[in-house]
Amino acid sequence: MDYEPATAPEYLCPEAHFERRIGPPADVCGLACTIFQTRSGSPLFETFLGGEDDALKEIVATPGKLPDLWWGAFKNRHKWFDEDGNPKPGRVKKTSIKQKLVDIGLRDGLPATGDDGPMMERPGTKLRFSC
């Protein structure tokens, strides 16, 4: 396939990285990344200067190992992970989306509002709109 997605690497879903396939799941993934960045002020998957490899590293470090077909196609995975998808010590930090939100508040020096940090709303919080 000669299609090259024009989406920035930090918004690409694994299907787009490995199969160059775009569709509704890719749109949902990109939208989720956009909402996270809009809400938190930081990208869900940091890419710095590494492009796709950095994005894939961040994807694996957050939700976990990719399905076997994609895992085998992730050529530089050995730099950061063992074959089971576990981070190599000192190379990458295993995290979660919730932890990334907590870390944003800590990084920005904001006071914590409990165990969840300042970027987490309490259950039952409702959005208020004013026009």
Domain residue ranges in the chain: 9-95
Number of Cβ atoms within 10 Å of the Cβ of 107: 9
Under a CB-based contact definition with an 8 Å cutoff, are residues 27 and 44 in contact? no
Tens of pLDDT, residues 43-98: 888 776 667 788 899 899 998 999 999 999 999 999 999 999 999 999 988 988 88
Average pLDDT for the chain = 78
Contact yes or no for 35/98 (Cβ under 8 A): no
Residue 113's SS3 state is coil
- Between the two ends of the chain, the Cα-to-Cα distance in Å is 47
Distance between CA atoms of residues 14 and 63, nearest Å: 12
